[in-house]
């Protein structure tokens, strides 16, 4: 079921609305009792996993063998600052939205909604839909063992588990996982070592197994901003980081937060023509160029010139390596 289909499922939506209204911790069994026999514990955990993809501060934790839902921060809200003409356009569109796609009224509203969407990337439904498609494609090229391992790692991150990583030569590392990202073109885990309480980076391919512990007393030592700083520090060592600037013609068609790509300090603005200008710190690699290739019809690289030239060379190389289509 896609993200869009999930939102149109009454049971899924009712659980989501209830969770969004929570102001204190509650046991999963108590929520199941609230909803009645049509809702099971797995249904609630599925919705929590979905909400965490939007960085919603909710997690499932075990206490004395029972699952509890815990609120771990301020709940996100999305607000709009509308001018008089924009507010009139919005109200007029409620009953006529589909019938006025080719009218100026629609364009006024559409432009404003694109700005709001760009200003709240963590609550971008279509980013999550695209990530789910990318994740399915990424997993399809893995062995079954690695696919299971990556899925288990994702669940451990979303539920705040402490994991024991089995590596080569019978080595075991106990860690709190934060992110899975491409670094120097390699899928890598960013985590903190539970024993040393320091940040570590480990290649996913070096992991032979993972054992998660969802109920634990470990106090997280690094916040999200510090994790991002650590990733940027690694990139500065490799010398692959650049400040990429794009002009985007159709931002609603572009996923600006592709899965496993770390885009540092993203910034969005518009120019006098109403075009979107997007900038972020990126790692120059073939993985970056593959992402740019997937959205090349909607973007133009403004800066740096070296990256633009490297991307053009990448496209030429990819085109040369593709097999010719046979005539029917």
Which pLDDT tens digit goes with each residue over 292-319?
888 888 888 988 888 898 888 888 887 7
Q: For residue 325, is it within any domain? A: no
Q: Provide the edge-to-edge strand list for the sheet that holds 209-213.
A: 199-203, 186-193, 172-183, 162-166, 209-213
Q: CATH code at 268?
A: 3.30.70
User: 246 and 156 in one domain?
Assistant: no
Tokens for 102? 């080719």
Query: Which of 75, 69, 71 shows the shortest CA–CA distance to 32?
Result: 69
pTM of the full structure: 0.48
Write down the pLDDT at residue 104.
66
User: 299 and 276 in one domain?
Assistant: yes
Kindly report which listed range (46-55, 127-136, 210-219) carries the lowest average pLDDT score.
127-136
Kindly report which listed range (11-15, 149-153, 320-324) carries the lowest average pLDDT score.
320-324
Please give the average per-residue pLDDT across 123-139, as a whole number.
67
Tokens for 226? 């510090």
Query: Which of 221, 204, 291 shows the shortest CA–CA distance to 256?
Result: 291
Report whether pLDDT(277) > 90.
no
**Residue 97 neighbours by CB under 8 Å, 6+ apart:** 106
Report whether pLDDT(154) > 50.
yes
User: Measured between alpha carbons, how far is 147 from 140 in angstroms, rounded to an integer?
Assistant: 8
Q: For residue 79, is it within any domain? A: no
Give the range of the structural domain holding residue 88, as residue numbers without chain letter: 84-119
User: 147 and 199 in one domain?
Assistant: yes
Domains of the chain: total = 4
Measured in Å, how far apart are the chain's first and last C-alpha atoms?
35
Strand partners for 164: 174, 211
């Amino acid at each position: 079921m896609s993200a869009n289909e999930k939102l149109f499922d009454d049971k899924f939506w009712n659980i989501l609305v209830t969770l969004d209204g929570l102001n204190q911790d509650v046991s999963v069994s108590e929520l199941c009792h609230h909803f009645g026999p049509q809702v099971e514990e797995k249904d609630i955990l599925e919705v929590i996993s979905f909400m965490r993809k939007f960085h919603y501060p909710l997690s499932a934790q075990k206490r004395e063998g029972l699952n509890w839902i815990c609120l771990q921060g301020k709940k996100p809200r999305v607000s709009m600052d509308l001018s008089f003409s924009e507010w009139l356009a919005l109200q007029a569109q409620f009953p006529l939205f589909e019938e006025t796609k080719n009218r100026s009224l629609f364009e006024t509203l559409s432009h404003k909604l694109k700005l709001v969407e760009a200003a709240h990337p963590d609550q971008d439904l279509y980013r999550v839909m695209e990530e789910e498609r990318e994740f399915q494609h990424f997993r399809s090229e893995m062995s079954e063992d690695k696919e299971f391992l990556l899925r288990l790692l994702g669940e451990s991150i979303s539920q705040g588990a402490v994991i024991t990583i089995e590596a080569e030569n019978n080595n075991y590392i106990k860690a709190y996982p934060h992110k899975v990202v491409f670094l120097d073109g390699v899928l890598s885990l960013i985590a903190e070592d539970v024993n040393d309480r320091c940040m570590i980076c480990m290649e996913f391919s070096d992991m032979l197994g993972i054992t998660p512990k969802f109920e634990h007393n470990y106090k997280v030592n690094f916040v999200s901003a510090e994790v991002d700083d650590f990733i940027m520090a690694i990139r500065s060592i490799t010398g692959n980081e650049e400040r990429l600037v794009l002009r985007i013609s159709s931002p609603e068609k572009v996923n600006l937060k592709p899965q496993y790509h770390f885009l540092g300090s993203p910034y969005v603005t518009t120019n006098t023509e109403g075009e979107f200008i997007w900038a972020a710190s990126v790692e120059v690699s073939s993985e970056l160029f593959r992402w740019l290739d997937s959205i090349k019809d909607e973007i133009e690289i403004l800066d740096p010139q070296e990256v633009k030239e490297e991307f053009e060379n990448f496209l030429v190389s990819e085109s040369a390596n593709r097999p010719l289509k046979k005539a029917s």
